[in-house]
Amino acid sequence: MSDVMVSEISARETWSVRHPVLRAGRPLEDCAFPHDEDRSTIHFGAFHKARLVGVVSLLHPSEGQFQLRGMAVLADLQKLSIGSQLVKHLESRVLSIGGGRIWMNARAIAVPFYLKLGYHISSEEFHIPRIGPHYVMEKTVGQ
């Protein structure tokens, strides 16, 4: 999809996408993730015709280490390249602040998506309660 704009948003703004996609049926407050409000955390939103349709968050806890969290695209707009555009935007930001290792706890169902973006699996499968099987995936950019 070409008419998508990515820009920075607040942690609270991510909830309208996080809730239906990542925390469906759970209290809205479950959309607040640890470190959302850290000064070094950046939230990105993808907008289609002024509607927020995708989100991803970038945590930067230490030099050269970045965590991608809360990757979600509204169900009716998945598989239209919005997720890829968000990850590429996030990677550009990582490059602009020196590059490094980007990692995430990837849901098993999302592994093919991250593989297509050049990430590789770097852990055994593990389970996150109430969410399901995950793998650590990672990629180094700009180093």
Ligand X SMILES: CC(C)(COP(=O)(O)OP(=O)(O)OC[C@H]1O[C@@H](n2cnc3c(N)ncnc32)[C@H](O)[C@@H]1OP(=O)(O)O)[C@@H](O)C(=O)NCCC(=O)NCCS
Question: What type of residue sits at position 137?
Answer: M
Q: Closest distance between ligand X and the C-beta of residue 100, in Å?
A: 20
Q: Which residues are bridge partners to 7 per DSSP? A: 45
Residue 79 as a binder of ligand X (CB under 6 A): the answer is yes
Please, what is the minimum distance in Å from the beta carbon of residue 98 to ligand X? 24
The single residue among 11, 18, 83, 135 that binds ligand X, judged by CB under 6 A, is 83
The answer to whether 61 and 67 are in contact (CB under 8 A) is yes
Kindly tell me which of 60 and 89 has the beta carbon lying closer to ligand X: 89
Cα distance between residue 103 and residue 136, in whole Å: 7
Q: Is 67 in the site for ligand X (CB under 6 A)?
A: no
Taking phi over 0 as left and psi of -120 to 50 as alpha, with beta for the rest, 74 belongs to beta
* Residue 107 is a binding residue for ligand X (CB under 6 A): yes
Residue 27 CB burial class (10 angstroms; 0-12, 13-18, ≥19): exposed
- In the set 112, 124, 129, 143, which binds ligand X (CB under 6 A)? 112
Binding flag, residue 55, ligand X (CB under 6 A): no
Enumerate binding residues for ligand X (CB under 6 A).
21-22, 71-73, 78-84, 106-107, 109-110, 112-113, 116
